[in-house]
Structure 1
Amino acid sequence: MRTRSDVDAALTGLRSGSARLAAELLDLDAVIDGHLGDPPRLRGRTAEIATDAGRRLVDLWETHGALNDLLTAAAAERGEGPRLGARRTARLAALLLGAEPGGDRPTGGVDGAEGPDVPAQRRLDEALANVRALRAAADEVITARAAHRETLAPLGRQLSAALATAQRLGLTPDGAARGNDVGSMDADDGSADGEIAALATARAALALAQAAVAADPLDVPAELLAAAGDALAPAVDAVAALARAHDHLAEDLAAADALLAQVIAAAQVGERRAREVVERVSAHADGLLRLSDGWFDAPRRGLRPWLDRLTAAGEAGDWQLVAYGLPAWRRTAQATLATATMIAETNAAPVRRRDELRGLLRALRAKAGRTGLGESAALEARYAPALAALGSAPIDLDRAERLVRTYADALLAAAPARDPSRSEEHS
């Protein structure tokens, strides 16, 4: 670095680099302050990154200050004029080549100093590289935190909506506003006591997950994130049930009455088919099914008294009890309806089997007539017992089926001899 142009080029590069370093340090300072500015509250890798970033940022600002001091000294030495003498050029070269920013100024000459290797430029390049490394580490934290917050944000919105609904209904997160009288009826009617506490549980779980994300987004336990969602689901369902009962009490109770009517109708079909089996087929109830005793009118568990209690609670304005009791009643009623429907199908089986055998016997008799075997005494001797068995009451279905099969086998054996087409095939 012996010429004026070498010195000016070096100074220009340092000034430009110093300005860039200052801009990047200001940006990094804002990022660290906004995202990593409280190391005592941070944990794990994030705390390590924040502590290291704060320490290194101080060093980088000191480097920038030393570089500015060097540039100030160089500007004073350089002067304002376009011309630069040999002695001043040598002094500037010595300043640039023999002193790093913040280091001791050179005391000797710069004989033999050749090439573009300027210590201040090396320090500047190292500082810029360190800034980029710190920014990359900070960006890793920022990206991780943003991703986790994006996951938790919908949960937060759901929780806020549930809390707003609870407030509209006059409820508190730790229980129903009206206190313990919600559970004054039988346990099978449901109780609101403690159920709304699911909101407090969900809020605590979400706050725990959010705190973990804030403290160390690079290492958030997956179970914390899952727990927030798992806790929120029942809370949202509980509030929705309360809101439904509050806003649609009359409709829900009317729908429950309609469901009970379906259960009653299905049970009556099952009973009617059971009586038909006893009267027309078996003469006994063996193998027939019935709903359990008291399903309809047992004082505690019967569907009718249970629904009557809920209806009375609704008429008295006790909508919270309906909110918790009606879903339980509905589940029981739907299960009873499914059982009653299955019973009706099962009890219809003997009569259906009898009717199927009668239909088969009629079809076989018609086939005998079409094939010229209607007057066969041998076939008639097998047909008559089957017809009599299916016309009796009670009916031994197993015996009747055997007689119908015997007649069918006899008809099948006799048919080829009377079937002209079959005879031609064998000629």
Structure 2
Amino acid sequence: MNDAWAARPPLDRDGADRALAHLRDEKERISTALLELEGHQGYQLLDGAALDGKTRRLQAEVRARMAELWALFDHYGRVLGEAEQLRARHSRPDRERLAELTRLLAGPSVELPAAEVPLERRTLLAVPSGERLTLQAVVARMTPLYEDVAKTVAGLDAVWSALLSRLADVEAEQRAAAVLLASLGGTDPDLERLTTELGTVAAVVRGDPLALASGGRADTGRLDALRTALADVRRGLEEAQRLRDGFADRIAGLGAVLDELRATEAEARRVRDEVRAKIASPVLPDPPDMSATLADRLSAAGRPPHGTAARAGGWNDLADRVADLERAMRTALDQARGDVEVVRGLLDRREELRGRLQAYRAKAARLGGSEDAELTAIYERARELLWTSPCDLREATATLAGYQQAITSRAKGAER
């Protein structure tokens, strides 16, 4: 290569000046690109962090490539500086000076020490004495190094930024829950467990984010699950706070529900007794009787936490018990109302049958059946069943159906 360059005609003065201007611009652009790369958020995170695992190995690779980039750039800059100084000393360079400028600007003027020769260019049996490159070849070697580092840093930044952003949301959720718990007093085993788990995941996010990446994308599954669980805990603590702030009104409201439940259960028993008196062999649900048990639970929940109870569970524990009691009361009230409807339905059924009997009788009269002995006998039997206590609803229903069929039969006969 040296012989070939020695035989090459030297640049003229204008050609040398143009080459210098081009290389100065190239050097400035390379410097700007390298500084911007080092200023990139992803590079700053990577370069300044104490890392582990996959990310630590990536950190070492990026640092090695950046060191190689700056070393090549320094060699490039020194040779260009030497050429600039030579040109500055000779305003009208002779052929010998132009030949030297040509060698510096276009020849193999960059000498890499043996230690800087890439591994893939070394041999098994000999340590290379060095390598000589042109300025153009230096740029060609820097280009893939730069592109590889830039791509690596951008990819890591995308993963890390997504994880850190999600982690910030989860940690904010945890802090909000912790503040609520501190104001309420007591402990929350779920919050303690989730806080411990969050600490573990946060250490991975900050120390080895690539361990939480898949296919070049951040895997936020664990963080998402933690945020959902912590949000549930926070909502429970907010409920406890609302309970504390409006404790008297909340308990009074439960007392009102309990009073309504007692009244509904009493109504269910009253209607039940009425049905037993008026309906023969009724199939009735068991009488509702939850108010006494729920009254005991309300009495226990009506005492705000203090002393040992406050330290152990506090308002958070009481909020869970009050919420359970509210659900139990609503369920019991719905059940009692349903029982009233079921039992009263038997009386409503009797009234419905009575109304239908009178309607069928009016229809029979319009058809001229008032003097029909058979129709009259069926009617009297149905009326006796429906107006006798206790009423046999099954037999009354069957008799009424027979009365309807008899009337329908006579109506068809009249039409023929």
TM-score category (smaller protein): 0.7 to 0.9
Counterpart of 1:159 (choices 160, 166, 174) is 174
Opposite residue 269 of structure 1, the aligned amino acid is: E
CA deviations on 1:180-231 (whole Å, 9 max, x unpaired) are xxxxxxxxxxxxxx5x232222222223232222233334165522441243
Distance 2:287 2:191 in 1: 43
Opposite residue 86 of structure 1, the aligned amino acid is: R
Tell whether 2:141 aligns with 1:126.
yes
Counterpart of 1:86 (choices 75, 85, 95) is 95
Counterpart of 2:287 (choices 282, 287, 290) is 290
CA 1:280/1:56 → structure 2, altered by over 3 Å: closer, same or farther?
Answer: same
Tell whether 2:61 aligns with 1:52.
yes
Distance 2:350 2:237 in 1: 54
Which 10-residue stretch deviates more, 127-136 or 61-70? 127-136
Which 10-residue stretch deviates more, 229-238 or 132-141? 229-238
Which residue of 2 is the match for residue 112 of structure 1?
Answer: none
Which residue of 2 is the match for residue 382 of structure 1?
Answer: 378
Residues 289 and 347, structure 1, Cα contact 8 Å, conserved in 2 = no
Opposite residue 291 of structure 1, the aligned amino acid is: P
CA 1:281/1:270 → structure 2, altered by over 3 Å: closer, same or farther?
Answer: same
Distance 1:165 1:380 in 2: 79
Counterpart of 1:15 (choices 16, 24, 32) is 24
Opposite residue 301 of structure 2, the aligned amino acid is: L
Which residue of 2 is the match for residue 267 of structure 1?
Answer: 265
- Superposed displacement of residue 40, structure 1: 5.3
Distance 2:337 2:45 in 1: 63
Distance 2:24 2:38 in 1: 21
Which residue of 2 is the match for residue 304 of structure 1?
Answer: 295
Which residue of 2 is the match for residue 35 of structure 1?
Answer: 45
Which residue of 2 is the match for residue 406 of structure 1?
Answer: 402
Summarize the alignment of residues 182-261 of structure 1 with structure 2, pairs less than 5 Å apart. Answer: 194=187, 196-220=188-212, 223-261=221-259
Which residue of 1 is the match for residue 6 of structure 2?
Answer: none
Give structure 2 stretches of 5+ with no counterpart. Answer: 1-9, 114-132, 213-218
Counterpart of 1:278 (choices 260, 264, 276) is 276
Which residue of 1 is the match for residue 343 of structure 2?
Answer: 347
Summarize the alignment of residues 415-426 of structure 1 with structure 2, pairs less than 5 Å apart. Answer: 415-418=411-414, 423=415
TM-score (norm 1): 0.80
Summarize the alignment of residues 92-171 of structure 1 with structure 2, pairs less than 5 Å apart. Answer: 92-103=101-112, 119-169=134-184, 171=185
CA 1:416/1:142 → structure 2, altered by over 3 Å: closer, same or farther?
Answer: same
CA deviations on 1:87-130 (whole Å, 9 max, x unpaired) are 322211122333243448xxxxxxxxxxxxx9212312432442
Amino-acid identity (%):
24
Residues 101 and 120, structure 1, Cα contact 8 Å, conserved in 2 = yes
Distance 2:85 2:106 in 1: 17
Which residue of 1 is the match for residue 118 of structure 2?
Answer: none
- Superposed displacement of residue 4, structure 1: 3.0
Distance 1:100 1:383 in 2: 126
Opposite residue 156 of structure 1, the aligned amino acid is: E
CA deviations on 1:362-401 (whole Å, 9 max, x unpaired) are 2211222233333322211211111111111111111111
Opposite residue 43 of structure 1, the aligned amino acid is: G
CA deviations on 1:16-71 (whole Å, 9 max, x unpaired) are 22222222222222346521125752322x33321111011111111111011101
CA 1:38/1:315 → structure 2, altered by over 3 Å: closer, same or farther?
Answer: closer
Query: Between Structure 1 and Structure 2, how many residues are aligned?
Result: 376
| Structure 1 SS opposite 2:47 | coil
Distance 1:61 1:331 in 2: 70
